[in-house]
Structure 1
Amino acid sequence: MILRFKGRLQRVSFYLVIAAWWSGGLPGRAQTLPPADSVKSAAPASKIIFGAYAQGAIIISHTPPVAHLVASHPTGFELNAQHQTTGAAPWHGWYKYPKVGLALIYYDFHNPILGQSYAASVYLSKAISRTARHDLSFRLGTGLAYFPQHYDLYTNRKNNFVSSALNATLQFRLEYDLALSPHLGLLLGLGLNHYSNGATAKPNFGINLPTLLLGFNYHQLRPVPTAPALAPDPADVGHNFWNLSTSLGYKQRSGGDQTHYLVNSVTLAAGRRVSRKSNLLVGVEGFYDRSLLAMLHDSASHPGEHLPDVKKASAFAGHELLFGRLALVTHLGVYFYNPYKSNGFLYERVGLKYQFTNLLFADIDLKAHRAIADVIEFKVGVKL
């Protein structure tokens, strides 16, 4: 699988969907069953791991307009605290007892146009290989970052990487922890950090930082005891459901137009829980992007000209990777109604979903066209 660094979030979304298709059948009639994924059970007391890492990075020149900003080598520092799961919830054992953490990350870009960044990220670190002395794991995290030196039309127009103070961050990382003592571990890491605002403001090419890390972990207890046996599969595996939801987002057309335009969608999806870790979905949805209407009016040759409809309708297939009530959502969609062809016929979506009750859920998603961010969607819905 190849990652294309075009300064936008989550290039791998549709690969996850395709992989998930091999694991189960199609949705049918919905049934209501109580979710067992988050039910607490007796398990050994969990322990905390504290980490402090130095970071060195390079900036990827993924498009010609940002070439003037990639001469420096950013350096940074990270402080984190990780909770080692031990089996208190069923999904802990299903994922080989991952670590759940919170990280504070600082970068100095050594460039007055870019300045510094300050980020807070939550993450999940899943073990690939683990012994009493060694821990090789893959970490996936997301959060928010603050950039004081962002794009400004009058004072900082050369910064076309970052166009707003508040941005999303995404982290992929391979980490190796070597035990130096019963409590102290040496941490070596190789990662990729991404920063973007998801096109809520423009220009927004986004920053990609391949990063090397070196630091130390302090383990309260190593190795941590785990539950003696895995929990049984949830009662709703093999059953179907319906999702009905609506979303709200906003975006800019360009750096010269400071107006934020509303984007709405409505989605109907049928799903099936095919395993303890996965839901599969198919559905239809409609979109109304008011920035496209503004673009049409600007390009009209005369006031009375007939303009095409900017509304769009699509069909999609999707996957939800389940962690108790939390899910990593990935969709691949195709437009079947698209009179104003402002983009290609395919789109991707990746996001996080939380099931608050058996009925109500909420999502934060990024919708993109060919890995170029289109809009961040704030979604609410019901599961039937």
Structure 2
Amino acid sequence: MTPQTYCLFRRGWLALLVLSCSLSIAVRAQEHTAEEVPVRAPLIVGAYAQGSIIMAHTPAIRHLVTSHPTGFELNFQRQTTGAAPWHGWYKYPKVGVAFIYYDFHNPILGHALAVSPYINKSFSHGPRHDLSFRLGTGLAYLTNPYNRETNHKNNMASSAFNATLQFRLEYDYALTPHLGLLAGLGLNHFSNGATTKPNLGANLPTLVLGLNYHEFRAAPRVNVSAPAPADLGQTFYNVSTSLGYKQRSESDRQKYLVHSITAAVGRRVNRKSNLVAGAEGFYDKSLKAQLKDTTRAGIKQPDVKKAGVFVGHELLFGRLAFVSHVGIYVYNPYKSATFYYERLGLKYQFTNVAFGAVDLKIHRGAADVVEFRIGARL
């Protein structure tokens, strides 16, 4: 894998801790109006074995590429039926949650436990087959993280709790009306988003083989001609604030607070998308510590506060949105990183006004900080 590709996978983790949002979507997906026919979403239960290799995406982890991890997954998913308008807009995807166990077969790396909500989009569906792509993100617990005294060779992960990201192409073939054989090819990724260092992350290309139990395959669908959303073409305004923390280096074990405030304007341009633009300010306390170490005594230190402007996109799934931004620093006296930044995250609209988000702020493909955000839509 090229460094650019690895960076892309590494960014994706930010969808990470909004697990409850994904689960809420699965529940809200079954809501219906008085004019619609109530339809219960069919349940699918899967049990899969997984076999992986550890990808040496950087020479620094080659000493860990000595085994072939194996795992087991149990998942529960619902087939959307059209009870919410966005089901039809996305051609009736499945939503679910997976429980995953991994044995790295390496005493330095240990074992992993993960919980991952996901969405599964079908590309080709027939009476006896289903070809689909799955994207999931969640929380993982690694049993043997980096420890300077007892486990200093594990530079993949320095914290027990990490985010996990899954990409997978799946093919389900009907053996019986209720039982399906599933084969898949995917990638599992573990990372803490540079909250603690070292954090080179783990990439596991994975083969999957297992069985699915289908409550019934032919899912009833209602509301096929779902109307356009009521806010299509409308302008909205967001104000928000975020907090995060980061470790500056392996030698400095202290965690530093990172704070931001944001004001944005947006517009819903179609059923699936919002476009947004805004301005924001940042204050990163780790930069003060960095200046203290690198500036000679008596020399005036530059301001570490930053301000930027950004444009972005929100991909909508009901109340949940996948957020992607790119911004430029317009006030940046202390040039500690690139002149531009990116952000990927998950945002959930709890009410018509209040929302929350978890974002990953990035500089040139490297994680800078995980932001926990609250805000209001006006």
TM-score by length of 1: 0.90
| Cα deviations by residue, 1:156-175 (Å, 9 ceiling, x for unpaired) | 11101000000011111111
- Tell whether 2:339 aligns with 1:345: yes
d(CA) in 1 for partners of 2:139, 2:224:
37
Which amino acid in 2 is paired with 1:323? F
Aligned pairs for 1:109-120 (under 5 A) are 109-120=104-115
**What is the Cα deviation at residue 44 of structure 1?**
2.1
**1:113-152 equivalence runs, <5 A:** 113-152=108-147
Other-structure match for 1:201: 196
Q: Is 2:93 the counterpart of 1:93?
A: no
Instruction: Tell me, yes or no, if the aligned pair for 1:56 and 1:73 is still in contact at 8 Å.
Output: yes
Between the aligned residues of both structures, percent identity stands at 63
Residue from 285, 288, 306 that aligns with 2:283: 288
Pairing partner for 1:40 from 32, 40, 46? 32
| Distance across 1 between alignment mates of 2:228 and 2:81 | 17
Q: CA deviation at 1:228?
A: 5.3
CA distance in 2, matches of 1:368, 1:40: 39
SS at match of 2:253: coil
AA at the equivalent of 1:5: Y
CA positional deviation for 1:219: 0.2
Q: How large is the RMSD of aligned CA atoms in angstroms?
A: 1.8
CA distance in 2 between partners of 1:146 and 1:106 (Å): 10
Pick the aligned partner of 1:315 from 296, 309, 313: 309
Quote how far apart the aligned CAs of 1:40 are: 2.6
Following superposition of structure 1 onto structure 2, how do residues 183-194 of structure 1 map, counting pairs within 5 Å? 183-194=178-189
C-alpha deviation, 1:193, in angstroms:
1.0
Q: Which runs of 5+ in 1 are unaligned?
A: 14-35
| Distance verdict in 2 for CA 1:50–1:69, change over 3 Å | same
Q: Kindly report structure 1 stretches of 4+ aligned residues shifted beyond 3 Å.
A: 36-39
Matched to 2:311, the amino acid is: A
Q: Please give the secondary structure, in 1, of the residue aligned with 2:296.
A: coil
Matched to 1:329, the amino acid is V
- Whole-angstrom distance in 2 between the partners of 1:205 and 1:358: 39
The 1:376–1:284 alpha-carbon spacing in structure 2 relative to 1, beyond 3 Å, is same
SS of 1:9's equivalent in the other structure is: helix
Aligned to 1:4: 5
Contact 1:7-1:208 within 8 A present in 2 as well: no
Query: Would the aligned equivalents of 1:37 and 1:234 in 2 still touch at CA under 8 Å?
Result: no
**1:176 aligned partner:** 171
Residue deviations 1:31-86, cap 9 Å, x none?
xxxxx999633342211100011111111111121111112111111000001111
Contact 2:44 2:215 in 1 (8 A): yes
SS in structure 1 at match of 2:99: strand
Q: 1: distance between equivalents of 2:8 and 2:109?
A: 15
Matched with 2:22 is none
One-letter amino acid matched to 1:351: G
**Contact 1:179 1:185 survives alignment (8 Å):** yes
Number of equivalenced pairs: 360
Residue 64 in structure 1 maps to residue 66 in structure 2: no
Choose from 251, 259, 280 the match for 1:264.
Answer: 259
Query: Any conservation in 2 of the 1:172–1:192 contact (CA below 8 Å)?
Result: yes
Q: 2: distance between equivalents of 1:275 and 1:192?
A: 31
Cα shift readout 1:197-229 (whole Å, capped 9, x = no counterpart): 111110111111111101110000112111152
The 1:8/1:277 distance shift into structure 2, 3 A limit, reads closer
